[in-house]
Amino acid sequence: MKSKVVTIETALEQIKDGMTIMLPGFQDVGGPAKFEMEMLEKGVKDLTLISCDAGTPSRPAGVAKLIINNRVKKLITAHIGLNPVAGELMNAGELEVELVPMGTFAERIRCGGAGLGGFLTPTGVGTVVAEGKQTIELNGREYLLEEPLHADVAILKAWKADKAGNLVYNRCARNYNPAMAMAADLVIVQAENIVEVGELDPDAIMTPGVLVDMIVHMEE
């Protein structure tokens, strides 16, 4: 079986200006912070990011660095409160922000990976979340039709990966990684540890290698 392990340079060749990119993590836990910094160094810009939050500027690496260095034109997220720069850019009209309730955010990604056309939820009915969205009444209750999220590239972070791309995450660092692995055209993994095929316990594998295109070894 051909190894999916590549150099950081090869992986970065796939990241282009204007792409839609999924970045997992919750306040950078489970997020590919080192790869994000390599993207920053490359100079990639005009990105649409799909990320649970906007990160924290005080941290040495992470999604916040892409935002505060004006590499992001649109952010689809559930939370920006710990990144005041994101709020300032949004209020100044320099960053388009689509705020999504966290459960809705996760389900939109899952729908994108499952090939569904969307889902109905009562969350957000009668609020600003409903603006511009189709409303459907079902059994006397009002729902919003939420559409799926899909990306050109998902950049994941795994605790362990084998050379075929089977992935194991470290506890809560799993978060959005498995769902995002299914919702992008190309999947790149920042892996802390890389082992030979057959070394991982099959019961521990959370993302199968068939979903992964490239693996970059980047130790914490």
pLDDT of residue 61: 86
Strands 214-217 and 184-195: parallel
Residue 1, pLDDT > 90, answer no
pLDDT of residue 59: 86
Give CATH for domain 8-116+150-217: 3.40.1080.10
pLDDT of residue 27: 85
Domain boundaries, the chain: 8-116+150-217
pLDDT of residue 188: 98
pLDDT of residue 58: 87
Q: How confident is the model at residue 165 (pLDDT cuts 50, 70, 90)?
A: very high
pLDDT tens-digit profile of 77-131?
A: 999 999 999 999 999 999 999 999 999 999 999 999 999 999 999 999 999 999 9
Provide the mean pLDDT of the chain: 96
Residues 61 and 215: their CA atoms lie apart, in Å, by 20
Q: What is the pTM of this model?
A: 0.95
**64's tokens:** 């916040």
Alpha carbon separation from 101 to 23, 44, 50, 106, 122 (Å, rounded)? 17, 28, 13, 9, 11
pLDDT tens-digit profile of 65-78?
A: 999 999 999 999 99
Q: 86 with 95: CB under 8 angstroms? A: yes
